[in-house]
Amino acid sequence: MTDIDHIVRKIAADMAQEQDRGRVADYIPGLACVDPNQFGIAVITADGTIHVAGDGDTLFSIQSISKVFALTIALGKVGDALWHRVGREPSGSAFNSIVQLEQEHGIPRNPFINAGAIVVSDVVLSGHRPREAIGEILRFLRQLAHDDTIFIDDDVARGEQDTGFRNAALVNYMRAFGNIHNPVEEVLGVYFHQCAIAMNCRQLAAAGRFLMMHGRDPVTGHSIVPPTRAKRINALMMMCGHYDGSGEFAFRVGMPGKSGVGGGILTVVPGVASIAVWSPGLNERGNSKIGSLALERLAAATGWSVFNSRG
Ligand code: GLU
């Protein structure tokens, strides 16, 4: 057993013992029914070794982690022109805040809060039918993870659609400012379906490898994005990946990461590892409570951090 294997197993065993596991998101039945006692972790290192422990092969709803992949597609389509429509600053507000949008004239703070991600969905949708845009996001994840079994959970997508009044408010509000170019129901359809993609930690860590490998798929050697773009997506994850808990996550963990209300977190240590953790209970900021703790322990045990020269 390697050191990393040992560390990953120990973290999974320790996390199983934790009593205070946070609260499972309950705004839709597809998330509310998930057992909070689960914890999974997958670590893929730069040499391709995979370490999986706990419930690392159990599927969960990736939710906002999809925003990283949709952003990558949108940047591929329109490049830096995206930044005329979305900012790059941490928001300091909740993921679905509408107040900031008014002050900033319909330009969301960053692509990882809901408003920003909805603009990104609009960019991915432009020139396509909604079904094609959703298919493009799903295909991209399957390609990155080298796994054609990844799918969209229709129950979760329906739940998002039935309860997404705030997201509907955000998209309509931005449309009023001219920052949404397609019909609002179609944009929401793309956004809700990308949030409803189901993956496990193993697949998610695999999908994040291009961000660890400076934009390359380590399996094929093909370039997914130029190195500068990988670096910038990582920078955005560091500053904005955990909503109004991003500073705390950087302080405790020190790795670029993106969380979702399904309880997943994807983090990367450039040149070193791509990591996915999952535990459905959330902290008060909407980030996985046990997942964040596990990453803090992993960072402490390995020395992995972008703020650490050993990293
Ligand atoms: N589908 C959720 C929403 O838009 C995603 C939130 C999240 O994962 O942060 O409300």
pLDDT of residue 187: 98
Q: Is the pLDDT of residue 40 over 60?
A: yes
Q: Is the pLDDT of residue 1 over 90?
A: no
pLDDT tens, residue by residue, 230-244: 999 999 999 999 989
60 touches ligand 1 (CB under 6 Å): no
Query: For ligand 1, what atom is nearest to the CA of residue 64?
Result: 8
Indicate which residues carry an active-site annotation.
64, 67, 191, 243, 261
* Window from 80-94, 182-196, 284-298 with minimum mean pLDDT: 80-94
Domains defined along the chain, listed by start: 4-61+199-302 (3.40.710.10), 64-197 (3.40.710.10)
* Window from 36-50, 66-80, 83-97 with minimum mean pLDDT: 83-97
* Window from 82-96, 138-152, 183-197 with minimum mean pLDDT: 82-96
Percent above pLDDT 70 for the chain:
98
Mean pLDDT for the stretch of residues 179-190: 98
Residue whose C-alpha is closest to residue 295's, from 81, 11, 4, 6: 11
pLDDT of residue 2: 78
Ligand 1 pocket mutation pick from 98, 114, 152, 170 by most atoms within 8 angstroms of CB? 114
pLDDT tens, residue by residue, 215-272: 999 999 999 999 999 999 999 999 999 989 999 999 999 999 999 999 999 999 999 9
Determine the distance separating the centroid of ligand 1 and the alpha carbon of 253, expressed in angstroms: 22
Determine the distance separating the centroid of ligand 1 and the alpha carbon of 270, expressed in angstroms: 26
Q: How confident is the model at residue 93 (pLDDT cuts 50, 70, 90)?
A: confident
Q: Is the pLDDT of residue 191 over 50?
A: yes
Ligand 1 pocket mutation pick from 195, 199, 243, 284 by most atoms within 8 angstroms of CB? 195
Mean pLDDT for the stretch of residues 7-31: 97
Average pLDDT, the chain: 96
Q: Is the pLDDT of residue 92 over 70?
A: yes
Residue whose C-alpha is closest to residue 82's, from 100, 70, 99: 70
Q: Is the pLDDT of residue 308 over 90?
A: no
